[in-house]
Chains A and B, each alone.
Chain A
Amino acid sequence: MHRFLLRIEPIVWLLFGQGVLIGTILLTSWVLVVGMLEPLGLVPADALAYERALRLGAHPIGRLVLLALIALPLWKGAHHLRHLAIEFGGHARDAVVAPVLYGLAALGSLAGLFAIIRL
C-alpha cells in the first residue's frame, strides 16, 4: 500500500492543489450565491430558475465547472484529512486512512461525473 500511495501521490497532489486553487473559489462562490444571496433575495427571482440553471449546467463549459466544483473540493478535503490524521497519529494507520479517504473522493467524483453526463 505504501508503494501504491507513493505512486499516486503526484496525481493526488495535483487534484489537491487544484482543489485549493480552483475548488475553493468555486465552492465559496457557490455557497455565496445559492446559500446566501439567493435566500436573501439579492439575486433576481428568475436568475436561478430551473430551466435556466439546467441550460447553464448542461453547456459544455457549465459541465466542466460543475465537475470541478464537485470533484476538486473532495480531493482537497481528502488530502487535508489524511495529513491531519498523520499529524495526530503518525504513519501507523496511513495504509488504511489514505485509501479510505481517497476512495471516497474518487467515488464522489465518479458519482458527480455520472450525474453531470446525464444532465
Chain B
Amino acid sequence: MGEQKKTFVVTRFDPDRDDAPTTREYEIAVQPDWKTLDALNFIKDHVDGTLAYRWSCRMAVCGSCGMMVNGEPRLTCKDVLSQYGDTVHIAPLANFPVVRDLVIEFDGFMEKFERVKPWILRAKEKAVEEGTHRQSPEQLADFQHFSMCINCMLCYAACPVVSNEPAFLGPAAIALGHRYNLDSRDEGNGARNQVFRGDGTVFSCSYANECSEVCPKKVDPAAAVNQAKIGALLDWAKGLVLPRGGPE
C-alpha cells in the first residue's frame, strides 16, 4: 500500500484576530504507517507553518498531544491514521479554553491536581537515619495502574460531568488523589477525602465511564473515582464517631 490522499479539516483560532474558531482544509498525501500527529507535522513543515499545536515525545508518554479527532479525544501520536476515511476533523480538546488553534489552556486542570495533594503525606516525617518507607510488591500493585496517568487530559475532554460542571475535580485528579490514598506509605487519607467531599466533589460523577473509554494508558479513572466515592463515604462515616486526625 502506497501513500493516500486525505483531507484534514483543522480548527483554527487566533484570539487576537478571530471572534470565533474557523476551520481550514489541508489535502495532503499520507503514508500508511502515519499517526495523526505525523499528518499535522507534515502540514506544519510543508503547507502552513502558522498552525499551532502541542507535542513533544511522540511516544505516548508526555501527554501533550491530545486533540479531538473526528469528535473523539485522542492522543494524536498514538492515533493510527489509517483507521479514518478520506476526511479527518481535528479540533482542540473539548471542555478547555483555547489559547490558539489546537492549543488548550490547562491552568484549571493544574489547580485541580494540586488540590488533591498528589504527594506522600505523613503525620510525622521519618528521619533520614530511620531509612526508607518499605513497600511490598503487593502493596505497590494496589495502586500502580492508577499511577500510570500522563496528564493528557483526554478524560476531561470526554467527561460529560466536566462539560456540565467545570468545578468538578474530574477523572485524572481524582484518580491521582485516590492513588495516594491507596499508597501504604501515605497517611493523608483524611485530608484528601475532605477535598473529595468539598467543592467539585467526587459524588458529582454520574459514572458515564467515558474517561476509562478514552484513557490511552488504561488507568481506568472511572474505577478510581468510584472507589474514591466509597473511600470518601467511609471516611465521612468514621468522622461521625471518631475525632478527625492525620496530616493536613
Interface digits, A4-35 against B, CB 8 Å rule (1 contact, 0 not)? 00100111111000000000000000000000
A113 at the interface (CB under 8 A from B): no
Q: Which residues of B contact A86 (CB under 8 A)?
A: 164-165
Closest residue of B by beta carbon distance from A16: B203
Report yes or no: B201 in contact with A9, Cβ–Cβ below 8 A: yes
One of B165, B203, B206 near A10 (C-beta < 8 A): B203
A10 touches B164 (CB 8 A): no
Contact status A91-B236, CB under 8 Å? no
Q: How far, in whole Å, are A91 and B201 apart by their CA atoms in the complex? A: 14
Check A6 against B199 for contact (C-beta < 8 Å).
yes
| A91/B165 in contact, CB under 8 A | yes
Q: Is B246 an interface residue (CB 8 A)?
A: no
- Cβ of A63 within 8 Å of any chain B Cβ, yes or no, is no
Q: How many residues of A contact B (CB 8 A)?
A: 12
Instruction: Answer yes or no: A51 CB below 8 A from chain B CBs.
Output: no
CB distance from B228 to the nearest CB of A (A): 11
**B233 beta carbon closer than 8 Å to chain A:** yes
B203: A residues at CB distance < 8 A: 9-10, 12-13
Q: CB distance B229 to A13 under 8 Å?
A: yes
Residues A9 and B197 in contact, CB atoms below 8 Å apart: yes
Task: Check B198 for interface membership: any CB of A closer than 8 A.
Answer: yes
Determine whether the beta carbon of B236 is less than 8 Å from that of A87.
Answer: no
Is B232 part of the contact surface with A, judged by Cβ < 8 Å? yes
Q: Among A14, A90, A91, point to the contact of B233 (Cβ < 8 A).
A: A14
Which residues on A sit within 8 Å (CB–CB) of B118?
none
Which 7 pairs show the lowest CB-CB distances between chains A and B? A10-B236, A9-B203, A10-B233, A13-B203, A83-B206, A14-B233, A9-B201
Query: Which residue numbers of B lie inside 8 Å of A, CB to CB?
Result: 160, 164-165, 197-199, 201, 203, 206, 229, 232-233, 236-237
Given contacts A6-B199, A9-B201, A10-B237, 12 further A-B contacts (CB under 8 A): A6-B198, A6-B201, A9-B203, A10-B197, A10-B203, A10-B233, A12-B203, A13-B229, A14-B233, A86-B165, A87-B164, A91-B164
